[in-house]
Amino acid sequence: MHPRNRYKDCPPDLEALAASNAALRTYINPLTKALEVSKPGAVAELVKTLIRVDFKVESYSGVPEGYLVPSVTRSLNYLHFVEDLIGEARAKGLTHSVLQRRLQPSQKRIREAQDDDSSATLITVRGLDVGVGASCIFPILGCALHSNWELVGIDIDETSLASARSNSEDFKSRIDIRKSSVRDRPDISNTLCVAAEDGHSTVETFDFVMCNPPFFATPPSDEPRPFGGTVLERSCPGGEVQYVSALIDESVQLRDRIVWFTTMIGVKESMTAVLTKLHHVAEAETIRVYRLEQGNKNRWVIAWSFYAELCPHSIVGTKHEIDNFMDASDTFESRKALALKELRNFTPETGICGGDGYRFRVRLKVLDVVQHNARRFRVEILDIKGGEEAESRARSVTKKLEQLMLRKSRRWKKRSGGGSSSRQGVGTKDEHN
């Protein structure tokens, strides 16, 4: 769990909670004093009690029967990770109000941005929850923990929207629930407002986006589950990979309006496809991977941003060292494309690198040699024109390509009869929540 998670070293006291909610006691085994999760409604009653007692949210009344019951501890882990991202961005001067001033420099600063971000006591944090769900768990916990947070939650399902509005009534001035018009993929662009202020339009900007997408491509079995979940909440065409891929596409379009984009990932096998698209297609400036480790289930949060001020890629927050998912998609061809793309004045179609007064052609040739688990290659510079200037630039290009291409794979070796590894691969294909 995240170090700031209130339940990390102090799990919920069921007896104390039952004293506040008599209905919860009917789900507690009198001998073991443990929650009987197999009983229908047990988990939902515990979650309702936790939110009402530990977070003082009186308006929370649970979710309609059959809808997804949130995991409070895992939701807290995700929120605390987002808090870390916000803190990092603010240290670099990146806030939603700064983005808005960049987009509309002639406009007055929005609402609580007031005089100066550095002088205000509590700067408003704005977040967007894609697929807020019937529980409205992320906006509710975010506002319960932070008096300066404002969140927008979007969803397609009318029942979920009504439930979310009811559950978040305590924070109705800070939580805005909106209907999405598109099923099976995020619909951020069409849901954001362009509000009119003093006769001028104001583009909405956010510090972060959160998302808990449907994990599965086909509806899971109908057998009862402690956390419930409708077909719409648990599955969509293409599963979480296609859903998050659509979110990445939207993030490219909204890169100047949102500091951090984040999403939960529930199936480990999805990580490679998502990170490959972020790294090689969307070209995010920074990527974070955080593992939500809890009990025998694992989830991941991927965060990305298009602002170069932030630190480069990292995998953080794990109890054990996990696979470097980036390496799984780090083929020779993808590294070659990325390396060549980073060269200035390079034309991919022709392989020609040139500028004022110089020109040469670059060719990368893969060799049938493998050393230290990495395939070797050779950089060839051909047709140099431009004298010493061209030769100097060609040497510089060769050196840069060698640095970029010689990134050795850090894939850990699986344990076998012939040896062992200090790294441990963790996480399996789990069900939603």
Asked whether the predicted pLDDT for residue 340 surpasses 60, the reply is: no
- Do both 140 and 104 map to the same domain? yes
Does 353 share its domain with 263? Answer: no
Residues 341, 306 share a domain: no
- Could you tell me if 364 and 295 lie in one domain? no
Say yes or no: 272 and 232 in one domain.
Answer: yes
Number of domains in the chain: 2
pLDDT over 50 at 233, yes or no: yes
pLDDT in tens, 200-215: 557 899 999 999 998 8
Question: What sign does the CA torsion over 217, 222, 227, 230 have?
Answer: positive
What is the crossing angle of helices 137-145 and 72-91, to 10°?
A: 60
Q: Are residues 315 and 393 in the same domain?
A: no
Range of the domain at 75: 57-328
pTM attached to this predicted model: 0.72
pLDDT at 297: 77
CA distance 148 to 79: 14
pLDDT, average across residues 13-35:
90
Residues near 154 by Cβ (< 8 Å), separated by ≥ 6? 128, 129, 130, 131, 132, 177, 178, 179, 180, 187, 188, 191
Q: How far apart are CA 425 and CA 320, in angstroms?
A: 8
Question: Would you say residue 317 lies in a domain?
Answer: yes
Q: Is residue 188 domain-resident?
A: yes
4 within domain boundaries: no
Judged against a pLDDT cut of 80, whether residue 23 lies above it is answered with yes
CA-closest candidate to residue 427, choices 296, 317, 327, 315: 296
The reported pLDDT for the residue numbered 408 is: 34
Q: Compute the mean pLDDT over every residue in the chain, rounded to the nearest whole number.
A: 76
Where residue 358 falls among pLDDT bands split at 50, 70, 90?
A: low
Range from 26-30, 79-83, 159-163, 288-292 carrying the lowest mean pLDDT: 288-292
* pLDDT average, residue stretch 413-425: 35
pLDDT beyond 90 at 175 = yes
Locus of tokens 């807290």:
76
366-406 tens-digit pLDDT: 554 444 444 455 667 777 777 777 777 777 777 766 665 55
Residues 185 and 254 in one domain: yes
Q: Are residues 157 and 275 in the same domain?
A: yes
> Which of 296, 328, 360 is the endpoint of a domain?
328
Rounded mean pLDDT, 104-131: 65
* % of the chain surpassing 90 pLDDT: 39
Averaged pLDDT, 15-23: 91
Which of 299, 328, 357 is a domain's end point?
328
Whether residues 105 and 221 fall in one domain: yes
> Does the pLDDT value for residue 9 go beyond 80?
yes
179: domain CATH number is 3.40.50.150
Q: Say yes or no: 239 and 311 in one domain.
A: yes
- The residue written with tokens 């040139």 in the block is 354
What average pLDDT does the segment 36-65 reach?
Answer: 93
**Within a domain: residue 322?**
yes
User: From CA 275, how far away is CA 296, in angstroms rounded?
Assistant: 24
296 within a domain of the structure (yes/no): yes
